[in-house]
Each structure stands twice: as structure tokens, then as C-alpha cells.
Amino acid sequence: MPLRRLFALTSVAFLLVLAISPAKNFFRPYRAIQKRYAALGVARARSAQQAREYENRPVAIHQFWLTGLDNRVDRCTTCHLGVADTLMRGAPSPFTLHPWTPHTPAQFERFGCTSCHSGQGPATTEGQAHGTAADAGPPLLPVSYVEAGCGRCHSTVTVPDAPLLSRGRAVMERYGCFACHSVRGREAYRSEAPPLASEPVKTGAEWLRRWLTKPRDVDPNATMPNFQLTAKEIEELSHYLFGQNVPEELARSVKAAGEEPAGDAANGKRLFSESRCISCHTVEGKGQGSAPELSKVASAASRGWLLAYIRDPHAFNPRTPMPRYHFSDAESRDVVAYMEDEFRDFDAPKDILEPLRVNRTLAEAGEKTFRRYGCFSCHAAPGTRASEKFGPDLDGIGDKRAAFLDFGRRTDLPRTLTSWLAAKVESPRSFAKGLKMPSYGFSPEETQAVVTALLGFGAQPVPEAYRVVPASLPAPIPAGRVGRLVDRYRCLSCHQIGDRGGDISTAPLTFAGSKMQRDWLVDYLVLSFSIRPILTERMPIFRMPREEAVELADAMETLFVDPRVPEDPFQGRPASDGDPAEGERLYATLGCRACHIVGKSGGYVGPPLTDSGTRLKPGWTYTWLKGPQRWRADVRCPDFGLTDRDALRLTGYLATLRQPPAQAKGAK
């Protein structure tokens, strides 16, 4: 009998033990959370029916199962129940409605949660899911860095609706991070930093000392970071740089230019402003700022060097964005005379441009210093080459576990990846002695942006279906004479052709041949004027010979055309048949004059249209009016949704506005 009783008892005990695991689930915190959500839903419901729905929702685990995205399972919505529920706008955490993003609420099923927010999708307790528990996996991304998630799939520099990530990536491009650090997709990155071969004939020992001490103090536009060099290292580097053999041709041209007579500074001033140097450079902070500040340039470079450089910048730095202007010898002397007069550091010592008497031993030590800090990654100096990247790879930096990071001396930091990265970007050498990464002096916003960009570099590429790569567009730049002209005037430093080129200009050349009338273009290239007077970045006057302008305009007419633009929207009838009077009335009622000038009145946002009939092809005007955003997504000209007939009338009116280019310039 006692045996039987014992057996009964152990059986019951066994059953109870078996029941523990479901029971454990029964006491999970999410159950209480789901009940709170139901209560909140009932309170917020707009109808009895809706309230009943909240009440009757079974308590259960909710999940997204992303079969296409590495079989991720995200159970975040087990607690974050209101992410797609518009009744939960402004509800208390964890029930609040997810903010709108390009992928939510429409695409929760495709992206889940952890693909942007990181954290542990399958976990169902807060500590495990958010990664705050001691034994949890990689934690949730702090919400201020959440745009890093966009970077996992989007590999373009500018990512729409991710301003912080885009800024971070732009900063990384500008400051040359990828010259030292390799990352998937940017293997081909090459710095635009000048080669240093002509340094001995360019500058003086004192200027170089100042520059190496703190580049930003010498030039606020400097992208070269502060290497925190010791006085000894600076001296060694100076001897190394001054001890180089200047290529014979450069040395000769600088020397010859230095002996030329002085030019006319007054004419130089006029040329300087016509050449629109501040479309890239700045003068006392005024200008675009991607190229060096010029207000002290005559105390940084010798007269001969300036003159030789302006005449042929590409001989000194084949990768410079600076165009080669078509100045005559006298004109370039005038420009330099103006610079010598005005662009001087009047506080600088007289000997700032005195060269250095080179000591071979110090120069040899300097060469080692040059290599030790990886200077060759950006500056291709003779005898050095960047066969492999100098710094560590950045692939996977966004997935690094905090436990694997070396915090070194930084015991003040919280042990998280984000704080480690922020400190690394802010003061790279603070972690240990002997580190080499220089300091960039970023503002807190820039640091946050760069950290966001870094967190976007995942260890594994996302599946193909999720990748958004830079658009690959044909860039039909011909070889031969036209190609050489495009290269000489460095059109691509400002304009885009296909998927190549810079973004200083708002006018891509890809469809320039469909847009601009050939004769106008020839005149414009010879004597450019500002189409938009409010812009700082304007087209320079290159002093281009007419033959070259004709050649470029003809090439555009043939190559840079778009099949979407009709040759003749009026289909053989004269433009006046398009009812220009009606078009003029439309121009007034649509409010075009808010942004455009015709004659003497109108706004300054868009280009003046006084000469639109001479400048633009009617086919272009027509297609533009039918949807400006087709040509540039962010263009400010609104889409008025014009009918074909109205667009044609307006085109007809704009085609009657004619003015020869010379007069257009005079009107300014």
C-alpha cells in the first residue's frame, strides 16, 4: 500500500515537472503587457465593435518571419503591439505607433524590426531582446543612430530619407577615410590630395611647419587631419619633403614663371571674379569651400609656383578637380599679381616661404615618419605606393561585439560599440599610446553622422533582393578631342554625366543636348554668365576658344540626348500656333513669376526665363513642364499636372521669349 501511494505521488510530481515549461511560459511578462495593451485599446477604441476586438485578442507571441532576409525571426511585436495601429499614436511605451519611414507601416512584413534596429529578434523578454541582459546578444541600436540600419541595404552615398547617414557618408568621402580603410564597394577610392613632388619649389619651411602642426589653423577648408606630430617629427618630415627631387619639367616651369615680370593686379581682380574661383574655393570664408581658402595663398606658395600651377594644374596634380583655364600668359600673370597683392598673410614672418637647407640624416628619418603615419595613403610621393590599405578594414565594424573592443585607457566610456566608435572618431589616439590615426576635429553632429555611417557597415552583405546599389548610368564621354576638352575644363568636377561627376552644379549634362539650343550653348561656353544670380557656385568663364566651344556643343548635341524629349513638340506647326497668348495667361495664373524672372519682374529661385526661347529647346520645355521631377527628383519646380494642351501653350509662350546671349549678360 505505501508503495502504491509513493508511486502515485511520484507520478503526480513527474506530471507537475512536465507542466513547468508551459507554466513558465504562462508567467512571461509579455502576457501582462498584452493585457495592458488590450485595456489601452478598449480605452482608445472608437466603437464598441473595436473595443470588443481588443478585448478578444488572444494572448500569444507575434512574429515576423523573414524568409528572404536570412530567415530572421522578429518577435518584437509581441510587446510592441501598436507599431502599426494608428489608434496608438502617442501611446505610452511599448505600445506607441511606429513613426512613418519609407518602409513602415507599408513593409513591416518585408523588413521586420531588427534589420534596422538590431537587437535580438527571437527573444521575448525585454532584457534579452534589447540586449541589456548580461548574457544577451548584440544590443538594440540607440535610436539616435537608427539610420545606420538603412546603410545595411543602401550603399549609395546619399540615401533618401536618411539625412544623418547621408551626411556621415559624405563626410567620410570628403575626409578620405577610405584612403586608409577599406570597405566593400569603396575599394577603388583614391584621395584627391596633391602629390608632394613639387613641395620644395612651392612653399617654405615655416609655412610647412605651420601646416603640419595643425592644417585647419592654416586653412579652415583643409581636409587633412591633425596628426599631432611632435616638433621633431615635423622637422624630419620637412627635411624629407624638401629633400625630394622635383620633376625636372615642373621645376623648370616654376623657375621660369618666377622670373617673369609682374602683372596688372587690377585686371587680375576682374579675371579672378569672372573665373568664379569661389565656386570651389573660398576667400575669407565666402565660397563653396571644397577647395582651399585663398585669402592667404600668396604666403603659402611662391609666385612662380602659383603662376605655373594656374597655367597647368594637371601637371602638378593629375587628379585635381581644378580646370585648366585658357588664360594667356599675361592674363595669368595678372591673376597672380592680384593674389600677391591681396591674398597674403600680413602677420606672417617675412621668411615664411624660405626653403629649407636639407639635412640628409633628418630627411631619412622623415621618410620613415612619412611611412609610419601612412601619409602615402593620400599623398602619392615619389618612391611610395599604397599597395594595400594602411588602416584596418571597416567591413563588419557595425556588428562588432562590445566585448571584443579594446577600450584601453578609456575607462570612462560605457562598454558599448556606439560610445567606442564615437570616442574613436572624436579623439582616436586617446585609447592607447602609439596609435596612428589622426584627429579630424569633427563637430558633435559630424561625429554622430560618421558613427551612424560606420554602424551601417555590416559583417555580411544583405541578400541580393534587399540591396540598393548606386544607379549605373551610361556616361558617354568620347575619347579623343572632345574627351580631352571635358578633361581639361574638368566638367565632371561640377556637372554630372550619367553616373559620374560632382554635384556642385544643378545642371547634369546627361541630357544637355536635348535641353539647350546649340547656338546658345556655343555662346555660353565662350562667355558664360550666371543663369541663377543667387548661387555662389557659378559657371566660370574659361576663356574657351570658339572652336573648342563649337566642338563641345556639337558633341552634346549628338551624345547627350534623351529619347524622352521630342524633337518638335509642335509637330511641324510654328510655335505661335500653340497659342502663346493663352500660354502667357497660364504663366500668370500658375504663379510662375513667384520663382522665375521674365523681363524685369519675378522671383530669384528658378532660372530667369527672359531668354528661354533662345536658350531652351521647345521639346525640353514641354517635357519639363509635364513633370519636372522626372529630370531631378529634388527639383523645386512643382509638378502642376498640366494637360498636354496647356503644357504646349506654355511652351509656345516661353519659346517666344527671345534674347541674344550677349544681351542677357548685359541685362544682369
The single-letter code of the amino acid at 341 is D
Cβ–Cβ < 8 Å for 423, 413: yes
**SS3 per-residue string spanning 375-411:** HHHCCCCCCCCCCCCCCCCCCCHHHCCHHHCCCCCCC
Kindly state the helix (H) or strand (E) to which residue 208 belongs, with its residue range.
Answer: helix 205-213
**Torsion 404-410-412-417 (CA) sign:** negative
- Helices and strands (H, E) in the chain, number of each type: 30, 8
- Whichever of 189 and 640 has its CB closer to another protein, that residue is 640
- Whichever of 552 and 637 has its CB closer to another protein, that residue is 637
Minimum CB–partner distance for residue 646 and another protein (Å): 14
Question: 2 is written with which cell numbers?
Answer: 505505501
Residues that bind another protein (CB under 8 A): 12-13, 16, 20, 23-24, 27, 99-101, 125-127, 132-134, 139, 142, 144, 146, 161, 163-164, 414-416, 418-419, 422, 444-445, 448, 534, 588-591, 593-595, 601-605, 629, 634, 636, 638-641
- Whichever of 132 and 273 has its CB closer to another protein, that residue is 132
The single-letter code of the amino acid at 261 is P
> What is residue 479's three-state secondary structure?
coil
Q: Which residues contact 616 (CB under 8 A, 6 or more apart)?
A: 515, 516, 517, 654
The Cα 583–Cα 570 span in angstroms is 14
- Whichever of 22 and 572 has its CB closer to another protein, that residue is 22
Minimum CB–partner distance for residue 588 and another protein (Å): 8
Q: What are phi and psi of 58, to 5 degrees?
A: -70, 145
- Whichever of 454 and 541 has its CB closer to another protein, that residue is 454
- Exposure class string for 10-47: b at 16+ Cβ within 10 A, else e: eeeeeeeeeeeeeeeeeeeebeebbeebbebbeebbee
**SS3 per-residue string spanning 523-578:** HHHHCCCCCCCCCCCCCCCCCCCHHHHHHHHHHHHHHCCCCCCCCCCCCCCCHHHH
Minimum CB–partner distance for residue 215 and another protein (Å): 26
Nearest partner of 355 among 293, 297, 301, 298, judged by Cα: 301
Q: 138 to each of 129, 144, 149, 422, 587, how far by Cα in Å?
A: 9, 17, 14, 17, 59
- Whichever of 25 and 245 has its CB closer to another protein, that residue is 25
- Whichever of 130 and 518 has its CB closer to another protein, that residue is 130
- Whichever of 48 and 143 has its CB closer to another protein, that residue is 143
Minimum CB–partner distance for residue 55 and another protein (Å): 27
Strands 282-283, 286-287: pairing is antiparallel
Minimum CB–partner distance for residue 99 and another protein (Å): 5
- Whichever of 108 and 189 has its CB closer to another protein, that residue is 108
Nearest partner of 477 among 504, 520, 512, judged by Cα: 512
Q: Which residues contact 497 (CB under 8 A, 6 or more apart)?
A: 475, 476, 477, 486, 491, 508, 509, 510, 560
Question: 113 is written with which cell numbers?
Answer: 524590426
The Cα 595–Cα 462 span in angstroms is 44
- Whichever of 134 and 471 has its CB closer to another protein, that residue is 134
- Whichever of 142 and 566 has its CB closer to another protein, that residue is 142
The Cα 525–Cα 554 span in angstroms is 12
Minimum CB–partner distance for residue 375 and another protein (Å): 32
Question: 664 is written with which cell numbers?
Answer: 542677357
The Cα 558–Cα 521 span in angstroms is 13
Minimum CB–partner distance for residue 95 and another protein (Å): 17
- Whichever of 480 and 641 has its CB closer to another protein, that residue is 641
- Whichever of 129 and 555 has its CB closer to another protein, that residue is 129
Minimum CB–partner distance for residue 545 and another protein (Å): 37
Minimum CB–partner distance for residue 448 and another protein (Å): 6
The single-letter code of the amino acid at 142 is P
Minimum CB–partner distance for residue 444 and another protein (Å): 5
Minimum CB–partner distance for residue 201 and another protein (Å): 45
Cβ–Cβ < 8 Å for 449, 165: yes
- Whichever of 330 and 605 has its CB closer to another protein, that residue is 605
Minimum CB–partner distance for residue 24 and another protein (Å): 5
- Whichever of 375 and 422 has its CB closer to another protein, that residue is 422
Minimum CB–partner distance for residue 45 and another protein (Å): 23
Minimum CB–partner distance for residue 297 and another protein (Å): 31
- Whichever of 178 and 440 has its CB closer to another protein, that residue is 440
Kindly state the helix (H) or strand (E) to which residue 496 belongs, with its residue range.
Answer: strand 496-497
The Cα 415–Cα 405 span in angstroms is 9
- Whichever of 137 and 603 has its CB closer to another protein, that residue is 603
Minimum CB–partner distance for residue 447 and another protein (Å): 9
Minimum CB–partner distance for residue 129 and another protein (Å): 10
The Cα 512–Cα 377 span in angstroms is 37
Minimum CB–partner distance for residue 2 and another protein (Å): 15
Q: Which residues contact 255 (CB under 8 A, 6 or more apart)?
A: 201, 304
Q: 319 to each of 192, 219, 308, 498, how far by Cα in Å?
A: 6, 20, 17, 20
